[in-house]
Amino acid sequence: MLMFWIQFVLVLGAILLGIRKGGVALGMIGGLGVAVLSLGFRVAPSEPPIAVMLIILAVVTASATLQVAGGLDYLVQLTEKMLRANPKYVTILAPLSTFFLTVCVGTGHAVYALLPVIADVALKTGIRPERPMAISSVASQMGITASPVAAAVTTFLAVAVKAGQPIGLFDILRVTLPAGVVGVVAAAAWSYNRGKDLDKDPAYQERLKDPEFRASLDVSVTTLGKEISTNAKISVALFFCGVLTIVLFALYPQLLPSVNGKPVPMTTVVQFVMLSYGAFILFATGVKAKDIAHSSVFIAGMIAVVSIFGIAWMSDTFVSANKIFLVDKIGMMVKIAPWTFAIAMFCVSAFVKSQAATLIIMLPFGLALGLPIPLLLGLIPASYAYFFFAFYPSDLAAINMDRTGTTRIGKYLLNHSFMIPGFIGVGVSTVVAYMISRVVF
């Protein structure tokens, strides 16, 4: 028991130190943790999450190619046209837009180009920008568990296959997609009348007395004047064809070749399909390969790969080495109240700040406790909690892009704009996903 707690402190300390350092430090320090567990405590290291890392590499490469070809700009422009055509409903339409944008492209980083547009539409309409901005940032991350090409979804597939409990991509999406939409709508509905209108907000009215502040509000932010190339439109069409191809293979696995009487695993299918369509975009649009490697989407994706490599490997090594102890001490509580596992997953995500990494850490733990895959699937929305401290890039971007200052981190750190929308969105989607999984399975 003493060894367990020493190892636990080591793993927790490595995670906290990696978070504090930021970037790829989380992965490197996780690798150091594996070395200490293996050489210092004589624990056999588990297998590194190779399949998950390869999936992320493939999807990120295709998404980055889409970005360089101008495809993300085209999607943002289409979304802006819809928002400006219906400005009074920006608090509902904006988060749904960021949610489905993530569902389509598989990464929440696509939201950055849309946030200044959302803030501008709200300001020009006289709506408090905090209302759509906070929930739009949250919704962009909630879309990850509902995307067929997101790392979190393919992580679930990989872990389930490795555990001998395969589950289909369609099975995941028919739980997470409707649950995510309901959660986003619930949080947006709460946000619809949050805070005071700008003309009644004394803090905002006081700031308006500053000529420089008033001048900063006169700046118009729009993508409507930007010319979208034919290549950009082609890249979007090809990328969506890739997503639809994956869904098609998930629905009709008989289209795939068989290995030992079984279709090729979807974890492998996602890899070669996304790399292929990335190549199609490359050939069709003529983008330069070096530009892909320097794009913001590609850089963010590579950081995620390194982070998952180290931290998930260390966590899985710890869980595997202490499986008997964990099952004995925690298994009964989880079996009596399975929903408590969602709380544990939520707490891990608040620190790890990656849904894929959270699932890699927690899913083996849940399987070790004897929790069935359908139950774990129903709890998957709880893997998003990094809105809790509001230090995630999309949250910081929303704060910086709201020129009125209504989207903010409060005096007491946790009383920020994203807390309540985040709790409502994640809480409702988790409950709905749990109910759907119970009915479906």
Q: What residues does each domain of the chain span?
A: 47-440
**pLDDT over 80 at 23, yes or no:** no
Residue with tokens 């290995």: 259
**pLDDT over 80 at 110, yes or no:** no
**pLDDT over 70 at 177, yes or no:** yes
Top-confidence range, 221-235, 275-289, 311-325: 275-289
What is the mean pLDDT of the segment spanning 348-361?
81
| pLDDT band (50, 70, 90) for residue 330 | low
Closest residue by Cα to residue 205 from 132, 135, 128: 128
| pLDDT band (50, 70, 90) for residue 331 | low
| pLDDT band (50, 70, 90) for residue 253 | confident
Report strand pairing: 258-259 vs 262-263. antiparallel
What is the mean pLDDT of the segment spanning 152-158?
86
Instruction: For residues 99 and 147, give the distance between their C-alpha atoms in angstroms, rounded to a whole number.
Output: 10
pLDDT for 231 equals 94
Closest residue by Cα to residue 52 from 376, 364, 391: 364
HEC letters along the chain: CHHHHHHHHHHHHHHHHHHHHCCCHHHHHHHHHHHHHHHHCCCCCCCCCHHHHHHHHHHHHHHHHHHHCCHHHHHHHHHHHHHHHCHHHHHHHHHHHHHHHHHHHCCHHHHHHCHHHHHHHHHHHCCCCHHHHHHHHHHHHHHHHHCCCCHHHHHHHHHHHHCCCCCCHHHHHHHHHHHHHHHHHHHHHHHCCCCCCHHHCHHHHHHCCCHHHHHHHCCCCCCCCCCCCHHHHHHHHHHHHHHHHHHHHHHCHHHCCEECCEECCHHHHHHHHHHHHHHHHHHHHCCCHHHHHCCHHHHHHHHHHHHHHHHHHHHHHHHHHCHHHHHHHHHHHHHHCCCHHHHHHHHHHHHHCCHHHHHHHHHHHHHHCCCCHHHHHHCHHHHCCCCCCCCCHHHHHHHHHCCCCCCCCCCCCCCCCCHHHHHHHHHHHHHHHHHHHHHHC
325 to 318, 332, 340: CA distances (angstroms) = 11, 12, 18
| pLDDT band (50, 70, 90) for residue 3 | confident
| pLDDT band (50, 70, 90) for residue 329 | low
214-244: pLDDT as tens digits: 877 777 777 787 888 999 999 999 999 998 9
User: What mean pLDDT is reported for the chain?
Assistant: 87
pLDDT for 197 equals 86
Q: How many CA atoms lie within 13 A of 222 on its CB side?
A: 14
Instruction: For residues 132 and 393, give the distance between their C-alpha atoms in angstroms, rounded to a whole number.
Output: 17
| pLDDT band (50, 70, 90) for residue 434 | very high
CA pseudo-torsion sign 220, 225, 228, 229:
negative
